[in-house]
Structure 1
Amino acid sequence: MEKQEKFIVPIGPQHPALKEPGHFEFTVDGEVVTSATARLGYVHRGIEKAVESRNWTQAMYMLERICGICSHVHATAYCLGVEQLAGVQAPPRAQAIRVLIAELERIHSHMLWWGVAAHEGGFDILFMYTWRDRETVMELLEMLSGNRVHYSANLIGGVKFDIDQKQADAIRKGIDYLEERTHHYLEIITTDETFLGRTRNIGVMSPEVAKSLGAVGPTARASNIHRDLRVDQPYAGYDMFPVKLVTETQGDLEARFVVRLKELFESYRIIREVLDNLPESELTVKVPRKIPAGQVISRVEAPRGELFYYIESNGSDQPERIKVRTPTLPNWGTVLATAVGLKLADMPMLLVGIDPCFSCNDRLVLVKDQNQTQSGKTWTWEDLRIHGIERYK
């Protein structure tokens, strides 16, 4: 009997359907996917290594650049960890403002994702409407911080700016408009026949599979996994402004879309509560320039799921080690596992269903030095810099 050859469809790393570089290989039998693999690491920027040669304040601004859409939540995770090492706690008003910016950022992230998802499904008009509405929250963030993407609201020990009555009124007005639009988008997701054809009963993931694959964030909550760090382990000001968990039970692409849009309503509610109940206090506390030696784990709920920071101090004014695990990494396994049995045409929507971020996902690159004789040598930042210069001459 003649051996049947595999037919592999490659996607990426440079591809019009991908906004960032990633390489996927789908083995197909006709139109049906029989296996899937992913190769990542195309946008590694060496941020974790770079922060070791910066002081604690400089490191915060560099870590914000891990992800543009989630810059505030990265800075928040970092600041909470460093504050714990330093034995200080940001004032209540600062913690509340951190929550406010985090929820505005969640709206920004989900609206951006919703537009990209519409584009991948062929709904370019919906994509344009969504990104038009996204401008509302970006303008609010610019009003507060002066920046539309990297807000730089945090300081180690507090926040940079306060919120006055005029800004609070502008936020309420923007939230009212976005809430009305979100009701419209939720109706589209759950009623449009063409959209449902791309999402309903596609990529179904049971709670057991979601747990075994380590899914986090809306991807897990769409499979009825009750996991949200804002609820399970409230940080910053979430103990003052409790979050109501949003879950769905179907576990398919439609459920992942619905969870994200329903989370927007929860963000609107929390923002209004923060504005109505901002505690009176200072915005910052003093933090020593040299952070006491020790190590700490800091976890927060980013828009895509659990964001994990390991921070180690040697007692100096610079970090000894910072390790970041972003939510996209554990969610990749759910894409590859649920792809099998689906049609090739379902792959773009399946990929966008986890709201992937390639640049914040890529944390490691392996460099082999052919001239290196000492096994297990640890490279310094200067070693890496020289290697890069030589490599690209």
Structure 2
Amino acid sequence: MSYKIPMGPFHPALEEPYKLDMTCEGETVREAKLHIGFNFRGIEHLAETRNYIQVVALMERVCGICSFIHTLTLCQAMEKLTGLEPPPRAKYIRVAMAELERLHSHVLWAGIAAKLMGFKTMFMTCFELREKVMDVLQAISGNRVNYSMNCIGGVNRDIEDPLSLLPMIDVLEREMVRTVIPIFTTSRTAMSRCAGIGVLTHEKALSLAVVGPVARASGVGQDLRRDAPYAAYEEMQFEVPVEPDGDVKARLLVRALEILESCKILRQALGNMPPGEIVTGDGKFNFISGTATARVEAPRGEVMYSVTWKEHSRNPSRVHVRTPTFANMPAVRYMVMGARLADTPLIQASIDPCYSCTDR
């Protein structure tokens, strides 16, 4: 006998509204249907009423955790429309900020995953590390979130003494290697809740076109930082972690290994930062008529911006955003099929969803 269980739109797995209708037989999920659209902020419409300075501040509010990545993608699209190229130092600063934001996002997600497992000690450990990452972000930008770092043609703030931040990076890496990764990969609690749970096969990942850690945990080795480098990533040496199993454990392990790679990139960006200016131009821009797109590897996966401008206009005529959650959320339906009902909160959280960003 089957019965239907609704999870959401408000539920303990995520502080954002969406609904998962599941058809169960006993404790096993046989079918699932995802519903979104409970949130609408009208940010893309508001962008059409803002000038080229205001729109950067506006799009930083699409996502609190990935605020830098959103403005980076937007500015790269607008730089194509203005013909500006950021200075080398600005590109290195952009890489450093992007990787710090990746650290913040991954450590935050690891803490939430630990909480959903009932692993509250690990939750507190991850959030302590998150505070250290946010301390570094605050040391650079003056803010813990919404950093206001990006502008058209470069960045707003310099990192005056990059080498002074390296000890903080060493502390983060040491804690990850000593505490977080060993516990998540060897703990009986973590293994019993993650291994073999919420499997997304390689073939299904390709057919659904998932992105980011979700794709890499299913054996799809794609990463824009390596495959279509932007900012100063083509000058960075790093590996792209890929796991073949496609379960919650693989998604956890990919993010943990990416934290170590981010620390490696940060050492290169901060240690080899070239001298010079941090912004090109005088703040007055001439936009050409047309549409420009930009893609960036956010912590959750590929973010894409499409910006349309009309010549002599101060405002964009269209700004469209595709967030990684939009690409990844259909996969949840297939991940929960055949899973235990009790595992579904952790499974849906394993894509690190941001439904409010998607429901702009």
TM-score using structure 1 length: 0.89
Aligned residue in 1 for 2:226: 231
SS at match of 1:295: strand
Instruction: Please show how residues 58-207 of structure 1 align to structure 2 within 5 Å.
Output: 58-165=54-161, 168-169=163-164, 171-183=165-177, 184-207=179-202
Structure 2 matches for 1:337-376, cutoff 5 A? Answer: 337-363=334-360
3-state SS of paired residue (1:151) = coil
Tell whether the 8 Å contact from 2:291 to 2:309 is kept in structure 1 after alignment. yes
Matched, 1:283 2:278: yes
2:315 matched to which residue of 1? 318
* Whole-Å separation in 2 of the counterparts to 1:281 and 1:237: 15
Distance in 2 separating the partners of 1:161 and 1:285: 13
Which structure would you say has the larger Rg? 1
Indicate conservation of the 8 Å contact 2:5/2:23, yes or no: yes
Return the letter of the residue paired with 1:321.
Answer: R
Amino acid across the alignment from 1:226: G
Deviation string, structure 1 residues 51-110 (Cα, Å, up to 9, x no partner): 100001100110010000000000000000000111111101001100000000000000
Does residue 256 (structure 1) correspond to residue 251 (structure 2)? The answer is yes
Contact 2:16 2:355 in 1 (8 A): yes
Amino acid at match of 2:147: Y
User: What is the CA distance between 1:164 and its match in structure 2?
Assistant: 2.1
Q: Which stretches in structure 2 are left out of the alignment for 5+ residues? A: none
The 8 Å contact of residues 48 and 323 in structure 1, kept in 2 or not, is answered as: yes
C-alpha distance in structure 1 between counterparts of 2:113 and 2:59, whole Å? 27
CA distance in structure 1 between the aligned counterparts of 2:56 and 2:172, rounded to whole angstroms:
31
TM-score normalized with structure 2 length: 0.97
Q: 1-side partners of 2:90 and 2:348: how far apart?
A: 37
Percent identity, aligned pairs only?
Answer: 44
1:44 aligns with 2:40: yes
Alignment check: 8 A CA contact 1:221 1:227 kept? yes
The Cα offsets for residues 256-305 of structure 1, whole Å up to 9 and x where unpaired, read as 00000000000001111111111122111115434211101110000000
Q: Which runs of 4+ in 1 moved over 4 A?
A: none
Count how many residue pairs are aligned between Structure 1 and Structure 2.
Answer: 357
Is the 1:86–1:288 contact (alpha carbons within 8 Å) kept by the matching residues of 2?
no
Contact 2:34–2:330 (CA under 8 A) maintained in structure 1: no
CA distance in 2, matches of 1:224, 1:98: 28
Query: Offset of 1:229 from its aligned partner?
Result: 0.4
CA RMSD between the two structures: 1.2
